[in-house]
Structure 1
Amino acid sequence: EGYLAAPETLVGAPEGRRWGRFVYRAVGYTFTLGFLAFFVLLAMAGVRQRWLLVVFAVWFLVNGIIAAGLAKLAGAHWTSAGVGGAVAWLTSVNPLLAPGWFAGYVELRYLEVNIGDISRLNDLLADEELPIPDLVRQMREVPLFRLILIVGMTNIGSFVASVLFATVLLPHLSAEIGGVAALADRMLEGARRSARLLWSIVNT
């Protein structure tokens, strides 16, 4: 009756959701492009400063290895695990871009997920006599559960790697130049130098 009395609400809700998704994506893309531009400037500076290249390499490898390893542990194919590991560093740049989405998308090439998987999972969970190890094993054989597990484990791996890099590896790598604060100052200075270099090239 409420919709009949105010039919415009039927149109307003979807429009609002579409606008919300647009804003969400716009903010995400802007955030990502801004950070990517910053890291491109840092990479240019890193050509002249070897320690920056080392920091980038360690950051990329740690994120990639841990995320790909946990994806493979969850049952992903090597291709899916590799894709998840390759983009894991993006989570540090933009938390809205989870590597598990990429790994899951590639894994869909090997899985046939359908609505019947939900019924299979419900049946397994309803079996109170099934031992836990057998329950987990049989649930992993259900494509939908395996897909969710791969996505989740890839994201967890990327998160763990980011925390490990920020709290353990980064302080160790920056110790010889005066610590994390000094590293941040040098990164900003490197980005400024690269930006000035690009600006001078454009104006010539």
Structure 2
Amino acid sequence: LGAGHLRGVSKELSSESQSIDSSSLESLPSPSLVRKFLPWAFPLVMIGVLAAVFSTSRDIDWVTFFTVWTASNAIFAALACLIARGHPLAILTAALASPITSLNPALAAGWFAGYVQLKLAEPTAEDLQIFLKLDELSLMWSNPAGKVLFVTALTNLGSMLGAWATPLILLNVLGMG
């Protein structure tokens, strides 16, 4: 117990009433408008890019559009998974999932890549205990439990970067940037 809390705890223990009103702890505050909007920001940006494409030109090479979309998202996610030293199948999963998951705020490419990493290099209970000590940063790469976490987190980061960079890349490739 910290010194800053001693006076308040002492006061509560010596008071007559032992009932504590916990009603304020039983409900969550409603999320802010920004927090409600943020997950949908990227899909709205993509809709804006598509609207810009449709409104400025009807001569869009849709094969190029979808190739750039897929490749850009896939490269960012796969590169991040590679940096995390993910299993080759986890890297492939990141690349395949990212173009799809970047359109849906309820999905994340890292979850899929992390799951593949988990199944292909299953950590043991001992691995988890060693990882939870967090003695060394290198445990993120060397420990199977740390690697699953690292693959998941870094792939999500790469997919997010790809999702935000892709509309800019598309506008430049299509000559609208």
Q: Which range, TM-score by smaller chain?
A: 0.5 to 0.7
Say if 2:115 is the partner of 1:114. no
For residues 89 and 139 of structure 1, the distance between their equivalents in structure 2, rounded to whole angstroms, comes to 26
Deviation at 1:50, TM superposition (A): 6.0
Aligned length: 129
Task: Please list, as runs of the form range in 1=range in 2, the aligned pairs for 1:1-204 lying within 5 A after superposition.
Answer: 51-125=61-135, 135-167=136-168, 169-175=169-175, 179=176
- CA RMSD, aligned part only? 3.1
Q: Which amino acid in the other structure matches residue 173 of structure 1?
A: V
Q: Which amino acid in the other structure matches residue 113 of structure 1?
A: P
For residues 161 and 123 of structure 1, the distance between their equivalents in structure 2, rounded to whole angstroms, comes to 33
Gap runs ≥5 in structure 1: 1-30, 32-37, 39-48, 126-134, 181-204
Residues 148-183 of structure 1 show CA distances to partners (whole Å, capped at 9, x for unaligned) of: 00011111111111111123x1221333xxx47xxx
Q: Counterpart in 2 of 1:129?
A: none
Deviation at 1:91, TM superposition (A): 2.5
Counterparts in 2 of 1:139 and 1:89: CA distance versus 1, 3 Å: closer
Gap runs ≥5 in structure 2: 1-39, 41-46, 48-58
Deviation at 1:94, TM superposition (A): 0.3
Contact 1:92/1:162 (CA < 8 Å) preserved in 2?
yes
Structure-2-length-normalised TM-score: 0.61
Structure having the higher helix fraction is 1
Percent of residue pairs identical: 27
Residues 67-98 of structure 1 show CA distances to partners (whole Å, capped at 9, x for unaligned) of: 11210220111111001111101132102111
For residues 153 and 140 of structure 2, the distance between their equivalents in structure 1, rounded to whole angstroms, comes to 15
For residues 146 and 58 of structure 1, the distance between their equivalents in structure 2, rounded to whole angstroms, comes to 30
Structure-1-length-normalised TM-score: 0.54
